[in-house]
Amino acid sequence: MNYSSFIVKIVEGPTRENLKNDIPVTDMLVKFSQIRDKKSLETFQVFVWGNLAEDVVEYYKINDYIIIEGYISLNRNFSKNIVFPMNTMNNPVQISVRKIYPFL
């Protein structure tokens, strides 16, 4: 399975939306806490669903470090033939968060 955990830093503040059936979803842009190789993946999108989505908006802000656990996926809208810089916003990597913890 692709269930993983990471320590990340919030780069872009959490924004909350409601889906058609009133399920809250929060998305935010995060980056790995320590990157030594500049060629590596730096930022990626994180999605939080349900009641946890409301807590994320209330308790976390930009520059907070958090521990996230969730499922990694790739955005299917990107073609396999497209090559783009890994440090841009056009990143296909997304994580659907199941658990989140503050990192003090």
Count structural domains, the chain: 1
pLDDT at residue 22, rounded to an integer: 87
25-69: per-residue pLDDT in tens?
999 999 887 666 555 567 888 999 988 999 999 999 999 999 999
- CATH classification at residue 39: 2.40.50.140
pLDDT at residue 2, rounded to an integer: 85
The boundaries of the domain holding residue 61 are 3-102
76-89: per-residue pLDDT in tens?
654 444 444 444 44
φ, ψ at 61 (rounded to 5°): -140, 180
pLDDT at residue 13, rounded to an integer: 87
Closest CA to 103 of 54, 52, 68: 68
pLDDT at residue 79, rounded to an integer: 45
